[in-house]
Amino acid sequence: MKEHLINFSAKLQSANFQKTYPLDYCIPVYHAVSNFHLPHLKHIIKYKSEKEFEKDLDILSKNFQFVNWDEFKDFRNGNFKPKKKIALLTFDDGLSEFHDVVVPILERKGIYAINFINPKFIGNTDLMYRCKASLLIERIVQSEKKPLNVFDDIIYNDQFKKLLIRKINAIKYSEPEKLDDLAKNFRESFSDYLIKYKPYMTFEQLKKVTQKGFGISNHGFDHPLYHELNLEEQIRNTSQSYDYLNENDFITESFAFPFTDFGVKREFFEKIFSTKDLFCSFGSAGLKRDSFEKNLQRIPMENGKDTNQILKEEIAYFNLKKLLNKNTIHRK
Ligand SMILES: [Zn+2]
């Protein structure tokens, strides 16, 4: 029902976003851009090809003025008067495609981006747990070509395959041993994968993109799902990453929640904003206001649709919720 309503009202939306976009800022969020098959991302993120990404940028450029981090802060403080509504381009997870693919495109187009990273994974010393899940799912999908070594007599059963994938997708941040055990059983080695494919930027690459003018900032130390942590653990994970960024001269003024800020209480925001030089934090709940005004919601761009469609749907949904007084996230 919700989908139908959004689809229907999105069809009525004009593509003149300067007029129809309801907020004065637009913050898209991406993870990777690649023309290749990336097994560690494939089953968790619908990343875009270079061509699709460039098309997104062209649509955004037509409707918004891209700003860098300093302009963004000035704008929020009322000291920067843009010609159009502004857009701040953001990436999460510090993946190597940012260095290899995204930065060259952005340099050519003169567009700034900030990447929110997890210090734990810099230099490919470990892989985020959802990427491990994606690798295991890829093994299951490819099991006809390369036997899994377990379940080989039942894996051909589609129902069983689906169940196994569902179980793997349900493994939590606090259960890394489950992923490691499965990997052992599937004779899949995460460490070999890290050595061979180097999914994350190295420290040198982070420094290199910084020298080119791009931003590197806080995404938590090792990408937990924040509402599964208690307050103390939330603060610790954020601070550990903050300290690393601080010691290495990256941007400490912002923090983007890994996955989602859903269910994170006001207490956490009050605590991190009182103890750190934080300017703002970022969620990724789409086009929405947040009752904690320094927490800004970003628009996820990796759902298989192009910018025109994404923005039309976000605006339609925003306006529908406005009618019901539900376009602001309230925090207890
Ligand atoms: Zn992330």
The verdict on 8 and 113 lying in the same domain is yes
The verdict on 102 and 203 lying in the same domain is yes
Encode pLDDT of 272-296 as tens digits.
Answer: 999 778 999 999 999 999 989 999 9
The verdict on 8 and 154 lying in the same domain is no
Q: Domain range for residue 158?
A: 129-195
Ligand 1: distance of its center to the CA of 51 in Å? 23
List residues, by chain if needed, whose CB lies under 5 Å from ion ligand 1: 92-93, 258
The verdict on 230 and 83 lying in the same domain is yes
pLDDT at residue number 151: 81
The verdict on 320 and 231 lying in the same domain is yes
The verdict on 32 and 171 lying in the same domain is no
Ligand 1: distance of its center to the CA of 29 in Å? 10
Ligand 1: distance of its center to the CA of 131 in Å? 10
The verdict on 118 and 31 lying in the same domain is yes
Q: Which of the listed residues 195, 214, 241 is the one where a domain comes to its end?
A: 195
The verdict on 236 and 317 lying in the same domain is yes
The verdict on 257 and 165 lying in the same domain is no
The verdict on 222 and 270 lying in the same domain is yes
Name residues of the chain where pLDDT drops below 50.
none
The verdict on 298 and 217 lying in the same domain is yes
Q: Which of the listed residues 195, 218, 249 is the one where a domain comes to its end?
A: 195
Ligand 1: distance of its center to the CA of 259 in Å? 5
The verdict on 154 and 212 lying in the same domain is no
pLDDT at residue number 1: 64
Ligand 1: distance of its center to the CA of 223 in Å? 6
Q: From the CB of residue 224, how many other CB atoms can be counted at a distance below 10 Å?
A: 22
287 in Cβ contact with 6 (< 8 Å): no
Ligand 1: distance of its center to the CA of 159 in Å? 30
State the Cα–Cα distance between residues 9 and 325, nearest whole angstrom. 17
Ligand 1: distance of its center to the CA of 154 in Å? 34
Q: Which of the listed residues 195, 220, 244 is the one where a domain comes to its end?
A: 195
Buried b / exposed e over 26-62, threshold 16 CB at 10 Å, is bbbbbbbbbeeebbbbbbbbebbeeebbeebbebbee
CATH of residue 241: 3.20.20.370
Ligand 1: distance of its center to the CA of 291 in Å? 23
Encode pLDDT of 182-215 as tens digits.
Answer: 999 999 999 999 999 999 999 999 999 999 999 9
Domains contained in the chain, number: 2
